[in-house]
Structure 1
Amino acid sequence: MAVMRDFRPNPNHQIQSSSSSTLVRQAAILLIIYLSLGVLIYSFNPDHFSGVETHPVVDALYFCIVTMCTIGYGDIAPLTPLAKLFACVFVLVGFGFIDILLTGVVNYVLDLQENMILAGIKANKNNNNRQQQETTCRRFSARDYIVDVAKGRMRIRLKVSLALGVVVVCIGIGTLILYFVERLDLVDCVYLSVMSVTTVGYGDRAFKTLPGRLFASMWLLFSTLAVARAFLYLAEARIDKRHRKITNWVLHRDITVDDLFAADINNNGFISKSEYVIYKLKEMGKIREKDVKQICDQFNKLDRNNSGKITLPDLLENHL
């Protein structure tokens, strides 16, 4: 079985990639429907909003995007109680749509990059000669663990690099469009671009021309969430680094007498391999005592004869 597991196809990456692309499609469709609904409500009620008008449809889309992205320049604002209630509902629901869409896009790109890297790892693995079954099992278990750890670090680094790169590109594109379309000076272009993607939106500068608002309707939709994701991924990278430090400390420190008594779950005076693994995982913060208890309860349900092991008849009896 240890040898056979190497030949079994692992569909995890295909499932992840498929689910990410499906999520992107569903979120994009819902977002388009939601924006269309907002544009219709604004278009039929223009007197309920204040601001400089350029084109009814573009102004409606611009207002919906600025509201959904929580920027709030103030150049277009709701006036009546109904319009204010509409703005409240629109921003609360719409922000979730954008977040789901961007999450799906980022995960889809990362899955593609991972599949390319893992394809090379699998090719190198298949070139190695297989030894005895027990040796093969141990070797592939260690290799799989190393690959999993490397995948986790690689994914976090890819996410941080991708998010930061997107932020720089978004700010740069916004600065160029503001300079050539809105005719602002360079400092104000950078200022408005950064204030926009960070959703600050003081309101002293805003998009006033028709092409500018049309561009902002597409640009703000993506750039604001990209910045939020970048800060989230940076926090995730710091947490991962901290967890790796704790893991290295736990693995390299010497076991003491107190550890012996703490890890001896069966109170038989010695530590088995499984007890040692469980104790170290607890120290790393990977599992809790509650998790161990739930797993033991599940094992006891399968071990109907209280023999301390699960056999094939036990599994067949449990499924029948």
Structure 2
Amino acid sequence: MGVVRVVVLVLAFGIGMIAHFSQVKGSVKKGFRGFVQSLYFAVVTITTVGYEDYFPNTSTSKWLMVLVSVVLANPSMCIIDKIIGKLISRIVSKSRFYQRPRQYQIGSMTFCTFILVVIIGPAVIHLLEVKHMNYAEVYYLNAISLMTVGYDDFAFKSTGRQIFASFYLLFGPLLVVQYLEFVTNLRTTVTRRQGSYSSWSSSSSGSRDKKPTRSNTRCAVKSNGSIGKDWHHNDRHKN
């Protein structure tokens, strides 16, 4: 990760935390709990969730949050998204994920996303909020958090909940976006292959007597690997 990216992340989270501490005295806790609150406040702002449980109430904190929201929030999320993408790429490359069948790829990614969205997130929220929320409210809070909606009816109040939310809000929505991008890119790749195959088959059907040569075999390989291999095999068999 480059120096510029590190500086952007440090500025975004640092200024967000300073803005929290620069609020009216008495509204900010001290010590470790105050640190967790400031980090939670910065994450909620940078991820654009905005539960409205904390908000700037002084001129200084408001000007600082203008700087974070307008200048630093979007670049910070882009940097974190790239970091997550690189980590996923390394894991995928070691497991030879992209060499497996397309159905296996979609099923595996869907299963992992399902575990995160439907089981892990709601389970932790339920454990932390078991005395205050029913199951509908747990899944409701999980959904508005991952989709960065963030109403002001539910939020994470205690120190433990805010520690969990600081990481969950930062990485959960980006993992969902990574999954959606994966499915979209996979469908786009399949559509392009089908389109190239259709264009090749329509152009080759116009000349029935045309025999496969090395040149059109190479074209077939570029458009569809299996066709190219079949032509090359037939050409060798005839010779």
1:274 matched to 2:215? The reply is yes
Q: Which residue of 2 aligns with 1:299?
A: none
> Measured at CA, do residues 91 and 199 of structure 1 come closer, stay the same or move farther in structure 2, by a change above 3 Å?
same
The 5 A counterparts of 1:197-212 are 197-212=146-161
> Measured at CA, do residues 279 and 177 of structure 1 come closer, stay the same or move farther in structure 2, by a change above 3 Å?
closer
> Measured at CA, do residues 209 and 42 of structure 1 come closer, stay the same or move farther in structure 2, by a change above 3 Å?
same
Shift of residue 33, structure 1, vs aligned partner: 3.4
In structure 1, stretches of 5+ residues that fail to align are: 1-22, 118-149, 261-270, 285-320
Between structure 1 and structure 2, the one with the greater Rg is 1
Task: Verify the 8 A CA contact 2:47 2:169 in the aligned structure 1.
Answer: yes
Task: Verify the 8 A CA contact 1:178 1:184 in the aligned structure 2.
Answer: no
Q: Which residue of 2 aligns with 1:312?
A: none
In structure 2, stretches of 5+ residues that fail to align are: 224-239
CA distance in 2, matches of 1:59, 1:92: 21
Among candidates 174, 182, 195, match of residue 233 of structure 1: 182
CA distance in 2, matches of 1:93, 1:241: 31
CA distance in 1, matches of 2:75, 2:19: 17
Task: Verify the 8 A CA contact 2:8 2:75 in the aligned structure 1.
Answer: no
Task: Provide runs of 4+ in structure 1 moved above 4 Å.
Answer: 25-32, 51-54, 153-157, 275-281
1:224 matched to 2:165? The reply is no
One-letter identity of the residue aligned with 2:87: V
Task: Verify the 8 A CA contact 1:195 1:202 in the aligned structure 2.
Answer: yes
1:62 matched to 2:40? The reply is yes
Secondary structure (helix, strand or coil) at the match of 1:207 reads coil
CA distance in 1, matches of 2:3, 2:95: 22
Q: Which residue of 2 aligns with 1:169?
A: 116
Greater relative contact order structure (CA < 8 Å, 6+ sep): 2
Q: What count of residue pairs does the alignment treat as equivalent?
A: 212
> Measured at CA, do residues 39 and 215 of structure 1 come closer, stay the same or move farther in structure 2, by a change above 3 Å?
same
> Measured at CA, do residues 217 and 171 of structure 1 come closer, stay the same or move farther in structure 2, by a change above 3 Å?
farther
Shift of residue 78, structure 1, vs aligned partner: 3.2
CA distance in 2, matches of 1:180, 1:70: 25
One-letter identity of the residue aligned with 1:74: E
Q: Which residue of 1 aligns with 2:73?
A: 91
Q: Which residue of 2 aligns with 1:301?
A: none
Secondary structure (helix, strand or coil) at the match of 2:24 reads helix
One-letter identity of the residue aligned with 1:174: G
One-letter identity of the residue aligned with 1:220: L
Shift of residue 235, structure 1, vs aligned partner: 1.1
Q: Which residue of 1 aligns with 2:23?
A: 46
Deviates more, 1:164-173 or 1:27-36: 27-36
1:106 matched to 2:88? The reply is yes
Task: Verify the 8 A CA contact 2:122 2:142 in the aligned structure 1.
Answer: yes
Secondary structure (helix, strand or coil) at the match of 1:77 reads coil
Deviates more, 1:82-91 or 1:184-193: 82-91
The CA RMSD measured in Å over matched residues stands at: 3.8
Shift of residue 68, structure 1, vs aligned partner: 2.0
Q: Which residue of 2 aligns with 1:264?
A: none
TM-score by length of 1: 0.54
Among candidates 178, 195, 201, match of residue 125 of structure 2: 178
> Measured at CA, do residues 29 and 219 of structure 1 come closer, stay the same or move farther in structure 2, by a change above 3 Å?
same
Shift of residue 170, structure 1, vs aligned partner: 4.3
